[in-house]
Amino acid sequence: MLDRVVVITGASAGIGAALAEQLGTAGAKLVLVARRQRALDAVAARCGAHVLTVAADVTHRNDVERARDAAIERFGHVDAWVNNAGRGITKAVSQLTDEDIDEMMRINVKSALYGAQAILPSFRLQGRGHILCVSSMLSRVPFAPMRSAYSAAKHALNALMANLRMELAASDPGIHVSVVHPGVVDTEFARNAVHAGASATDMPGAQTADEVASVIAQTLAVPRADVYTRPGAQKMVVAYFSAPDMAVAERVYVKVPGRD
């Protein structure tokens, strides 16, 4: 990663901050993007000398384009753009409002679309680049009903990025598109969800942000299209989609009253 220029959204905490620290240690030049300038500055202080912070709301296209312009002005080009900003929700499908759906799509899908569309012209000019999006295991296996709209939004993100990857395969083979699927991660993500929720700290088997960031860093170094951060996760996805009846597979993960 030495001297590679990497933009990371949602970089003020959690996975984004952990990734920034790992890449900074490896010699990358970083552009850290999030809404909270003070938190960004704290992360930047741990990432080496070549760091630019941009306070921006990535749900606004103009802010994303401003971050891109600042990155290119500072470092001359961008090698990789990591769409990491996201937010969860704690609400069942039957209770979702228009506002809930709109917010999940705005934060988890449109922000990533804005990032990809903003940086693509630069990547095309230089003939190379890497767009990486942080998705979720829940985009593949919807085993947490209270994360309903988050799961749906991340599923939409997967579809957009798969189609973008196929679009670029013929016209711009030097541009890679990756999607990384963490499971439960020990950060404040769940506690900060819309309508709040339990922290992943309370959930057994949660990965650390550093563990997930390490997988993302490896994917940036050696691009792959679809990546899982937990051992065995891909087998779980395959088993779910190959089940003769998905409803049977889902019952394993759903608590039914009166059943142990």
Please confirm, yes or no, whether 228 is among the known catalytic residues: no
For residues 54 and 81, is the Cβ–Cβ distance under 8 A? no
| pLDDT tens, position by position, 208-225 | 989 999 999 999 999 999
146 alpha-carbon distance from chain centroid: 20
Q: Which domains does the chain have, with CATH numbers?
A: 5-231 (3.40.50.720)
- pTM of structure: 0.90
Q: Which residues pair with 134 in a beta bridge?
A: 180
221: tokens are 């170094």
3: tokens are 């001297």
Q: Residues 114, 150, 228, 240: which is the catalytic one?
A: 150
Mean pLDDT of the 169-198 span: 78
* Helices (H), ranges, the chain: 14-25, 37-44, 61-75, 98-105, 111-126, 148-171, 209-221, 233-242, 246-251
Mean pLDDT of the 173-183 span: 96
| pLDDT tens, position by position, 2-25 | 789 999 999 999 999 999 999 999
Separation between Cα atoms, residue 30 and residue 27, nearest integer Å: 9
